[in-house]
Structure 1
Amino acid sequence: MTPPLSRTNAEAHLYMDLHPCSCGDARFPRQSAVVATADGELASRYTGACAGCGQERKFVFRLPPELGTPGAGFRYGGDEPSELLDPGEWLLVADAYAGQVPATPADGDAGQRARAALTRAVAALDEVGKFIPADGDAVPQAAIDSDRGLQLHQREPGRFRRDRLRAVRDAYAGMLAQLG
């Protein structure tokens, strides 16, 4: 079986964080190696023992044929939609990062944490938008294949509309700009 494509290390680590061990713990010390798949493609392999129960964990992701553009800012991937996370999961990731930002972020470490969280929230919202067809105004429900993504779509389908995603993204980007 061909492993899924991970467009960046950040995307691979996020995927592993969102897919915990059967004991429920997602933490494990990750040893990584570049390996060849059965098809001769390059892949990243992450292995380690679960911090909760000690069970061995292993993830393998195909590497992109080309590396991203240096200096383009934080991104989870290129222009194509993710193969690892569906748009509902990306929206939940954006919510989780935005939820880490205090109403009035302070300077210093708290300000740095707020900037990092908002940067990742914006990047996650950008990922949701990649699932919207060029001539469409919303993420098609068929693009959502995770239980948690489908539950979010059933509860709040309007959150998957292009205009609403753009408004939330712009609000987060504006907050980020204010943090400097």
Structure 2
Amino acid sequence: MNPPLSRTNAEAHLYLDLHACSCGSTRFPRHSAVVALADGDLASRYTGACEGCGEEREFLFRLPPTPDGTGGGFRYGGDEPSQLLDPGEWLLVSDAYAGSVPTESGGEAGQQAQAALARAVAALDEVVKFIPAGADTVPAGAFLSDRGRQLHQREPGRFRRDRLAAVRAAYAGLLSPPG
């Protein structure tokens, strides 16, 4: 089996957070190691016992041939679409991070709000990567998870390039200090 590519540690950890054990818990101590695959490529292996039921969990993700030089703020990966999460899952992640931002925040709460907004913006950027060049919307075939397909069926307009750009601009505007 060829493990899926994880472009960054942040993407791998997000995947782990979203994929619960059969008991429903997502929490487990994440012991990680870099391992060699049969084809000579490298992979990250995450292991640990589920905090809910004690079942051993293991995830294996192929590492990119060269590390992603993200630079310029928080990012989940390079220019290519994710192999771990579909566009619906990314939009749900963005919604969750944006929804966690309090209306009034200063000090440490303000720093946490800025971090959440940066992750919301980065997740929106991931959705856009699924829109083919010259197209205006994410194609229906890009939704591979049940939760991604359900969101797309309920709200297909949220996956239009112009709408994603508008929401991203609003979140990014909140990241910028008032001038």
TM-score, structure 2 normalization: 0.97
- In the alignment, residue 15 of structure 1 is paired with which amino acid? Y
What are structure 2's unaligned runs of at least 5 residues? none
- 1:11 and 2:26 matched: no
- In the alignment, residue 89 of structure 2 is paired with which amino acid? E
CA distance in 2, matches of 1:178, 1:168: 18
Is 147-156 or 68-77 further displaced after alignment?
A: 68-77
**Following superposition, which runs of at least 4 residues in structure 1 exceed 2 angstroms of deviation?**
none
**Alignment match, 2:126:** 127
C-alpha deviation, 1:38, in angstroms: 1.8
Are 1:35 and 1:45, in contact at CA under 8 Å, matched by a contact in 2?
A: yes
CA distance in 2, matches of 1:72, 1:39: 33
What are structure 1's unaligned runs of at least 5 residues? none
Are 2:23 and 2:52, in contact at CA under 8 Å, matched by a contact in 1?
A: yes
Q: Secondary structure at the match of 1:67?
A: coil
**Alignment match, 1:62:** 62
CA RMSD of aligned residues (A): 1.2
C-alpha deviation, 1:71, in angstroms: 2.9
Q: Secondary structure at the match of 1:178?
A: coil
C-alpha deviation, 1:178, in angstroms: 3.2
C-alpha deviation, 1:72, in angstroms: 2.8
How many residue pairs get aligned? The number is 179
CA distance in 1, matches of 2:129, 2:70: 20
C-alpha deviation, 1:90, in angstroms: 0.2
CA distance in 2, matches of 1:54, 1:84: 25
C-alpha deviation, 1:179, in angstroms: 7.3
C-alpha deviation, 1:62, in angstroms: 0.2
Equivalences for residues 21-60 of structure 1 within 5 A = 21-60=21-60
CA distance in 2, matches of 1:110, 1:175: 14
C-alpha deviation, 1:70, in angstroms: 5.4
Which digits, 9 at most, give the CA deviation of each residue in 1:71-126, with x for residues without a partner?
3321000000000000000000000000000122x211110110010000000000
**Alignment match, 1:78:** 78
CA distance in 2, matches of 1:88, 1:71: 25
Identity score, percent: 75
**Alignment match, 2:110:** 111
